[in-house]
Amino acid sequence: MFPFRPVNLPPHVLVTSTSIIGLSLYVSLFHNSPLKRLTGRDVFVPAPSTRRIADTNALLGVVACALQLPYFLSSYMPIEENQWLHVTVPVRLAVSAAFGVNLLLRGRRMSEEGFWEFLALGVTDFVGAVMLGWELGRFDGMVSGFE
């Protein structure tokens, strides 16, 4: 019998990870954006006009799901001891900085949709990292007591 373990994740991480896993599974199975019905536009995922784009969309969905699963796989640990949660703070800050640098260097040459998607993902990662770092009480990726 599968033992059910508690999910020790901050609420904003739980909501974000669950949403991204759901969206990424949808994209990996159906190869298009689930948000198109709401917005009328292909958000974050291009329309699969060729088989190659459909394959790339499926790959994007699998990778996004793989990046979020460790939150759940490590969620049995208490938050104070969960190294995965702690290390994602500086990683997410670095990723948001990479989005920002990309926008600064390529912003005017990007498509309008690409620009807004990069901006949204960068801001989301930055805000998520700051919220998580604030809740954990540190931004260096280290678990307290193991410096």
| pLDDT tens profile 6-29 | 888 999 999 999 999 999 999 899
> Mean pLDDT of all residues in the chain?
88
- In this prediction the pTM is 0.81
Neighbouring C-beta atoms of residue 23, cutoff 10 Å: 20
Q: Bigger pLDDT: 44 or 88?
A: 88
Q: What percent of the chain has pLDDT over 70?
A: 97
**Which among 36, 19, 8 has a CA at the least distance from the CA of 124?**
19
Q: Would you state the pLDDT for residue 33?
A: 81
